[in-house]
Chain A
Amino acid sequence: MDKTIATPAAAVEGIADGASVMIGGFGGSGAPIELIHALIDRFRATGSPGGLTVINNNAGNGRIGIAAMIDAGMVAKMICSFPRSSDPRAFTERYLAGGIALELVPQGTLAERIRAAGAGIPAFYTPTSFGTELAEGKPVAEFDGRMYVQERWLKADVALVKAETADRHGNLTYRLAARNFNPLMCMAAARTVVQASRVVAAGGIDPELVVTPGIFVDAVVEVREPQQEEALIRAGVGYA
């Protein structure tokens, strides 16, 4: 078994117009910048894929990563918990002009909806958002004297994920707090594409230390010394 792919461009080839795309990371930590930029390159060269629904905790920062996807005009809708950042212009300007849709989801509900999709659970109840405007229109129920809101699973066509080490079977580890949403998204997408700072042979990761088992991963591309979104923003770098 060998899930490795040679380049980020080849790894994002199959993503279609209108696809739903989970993108790992929390702010710049764990954001798969090289995969995102490969997707932008493809859009600029071919006009596809456009009309994407992007699922991430945030909605981009500065002029790189998801913000650069929005600037390029590829994104029709964001599903996120916090579409703000140190430089949120890309999303804010387009949203206020009516050029991009927003589904706002509480952060823990977003994580659990993604986890549920990966675990085959179509819906669940959570106390989060009960009695608030974000629960409007959703079924509620009482359990043991408390009220809960029904939330549905959240699946995607593809997940773009950043890992630290991958083996050729797709087993993954993550670096520090760059783990965040990445393991959940690996489980919830029909196709999971991973960029890893290091790809090793099967057996190169201690099985006891595997965080994401390879069954959740379809493709792995090695990106050595990957760019870090926050570091790029602080350096004033854009992807234009």
Chain B
Amino acid sequence: MTGTMVKGLTNAQIAWRAAQDIADGAYVNLGIGFPEMVARYQPPGRQAIFHTENGVLDFGEAPPAGQEDWDLINAGKKAITLKPGAAIFHHADSFAMVRGGHLDVAILGAYQVAETGDLANWRVGSKGVPAVGGAMDLVHGAKRVAVITDHVTRDGQPKLVDRCTFPLTGVACVTRVYTSHAVVDIAEGRFVLREKLPGQSLEDLQAMTGARLHLDGPLTDLTVPELAE
């Protein structure tokens, strides 16, 4: 990497930024792990309804330790609670909500995202035990499929690329990427830069990115509050 690294956003800050784009009353699926953090940062006055693949709509926070009911879990097998107005259903109905275009937003993690909208987020090679879960279903059907991710890997390799080299989860499915350094839309097979960190030059951001960043419409500062992790 030739680019000068500006200190990027923390995971909490990336999640916060993604949460600002979720409308009140939206039906949302958050991928297991890092994307689950998005639920913490809903703007005041807005309340999304969260879906989990194993058959619950409108679940809430984890119960206090010791009060878990292990028949009430999310897709990550963590204990959850039900909010007033929650619904429980079987797996075929749950994935009808996913593929049938009923969810407003799915927010997922990524190993790589390509400028074509291709996503790789389920395995990095052919070794070990493969496990896909609901990843390949979630990338199809939601009205918006967004990714939250660091802009580069730990060893500085771009995660936004021209073509994914890891096994694909889905083809041409991602519409927006929130990274540690930028907000990037994917439109007509190209990355369109919408927001970048103040203080970072376009040249440096481009150098951290594995495909051309296009400008189309306004480019604004990516500003996020300080947040505890």
Contact = CB atoms under 8 A, between A and B. Distances in A.
A182 B91 CA distance: 9
Given A177-B88, A228-B71, A104 B130 contact: yes
Contacts of A130: 170-171
Contacts of B115: none
Contacts of B167: 132-133
B133 A111 contact: no
B131 A104 contact: yes
Interface in A132-181: 132-134, 147, 175-181
B99 interface: yes
A176 B131 contact: no
Nearest to B130: A104
B134 A81 contact: yes
Contacts of B128: 96
Contact of A27 (B55, B69, B73, B169): B73
B129 A96 contact: yes
B137 interface: yes
A76 to B, nearest CB: 17
Nearest to A233: B70
A106 B92 contact: no
Interface in A22-58: 26-30, 57
Nearest to A107: B134
B77 interface: yes
A179 B88 contact: yes
A29 B70 contact: yes
Interface in B148-203: 167-171
A108 interface: yes
B209 interface: no
Interface in A74-89: 81-86, 88
Interface string A67-104: 00000000000000111111010011001100000101
Contacts of B130: 83, 102, 104
Contacts of B91: 26, 57, 107-108, 110-111, 180-181, 184
A183 interface: yes
B31 interface: no
A45 B171 CA distance: 50
B35 interface: no
B129 A107 contact: no
Interface string B129-149: 111111111001100000000
B128 to A, nearest CB: 8
B90 A107 contact: no
Given A133-B167, A229-B70, A230-B77, 5 more contacts: A108-B53, A128-B136, A177-B54, A177-B56, A178-B71
16 contacts: A26-B54, A29-B54, A82-B133, A83-B131, A84-B131, A108-B136, A112-B95, A133-B168, A175-B71, A176-B69, A177-B73, A179-B89, A179-B90, A180-B54, A182-B90, A230-B77
Interface of A: 26-30, 57, 81-86, 88, 91-92, 95-96, 102, 104-112, 114-115, 126-134, 147, 175-184, 211, 228-231
A-B residue pairs, 5 tightest by C-beta:
A108-B95, A108-B137, A131-B171, A230-B70, A111-B91
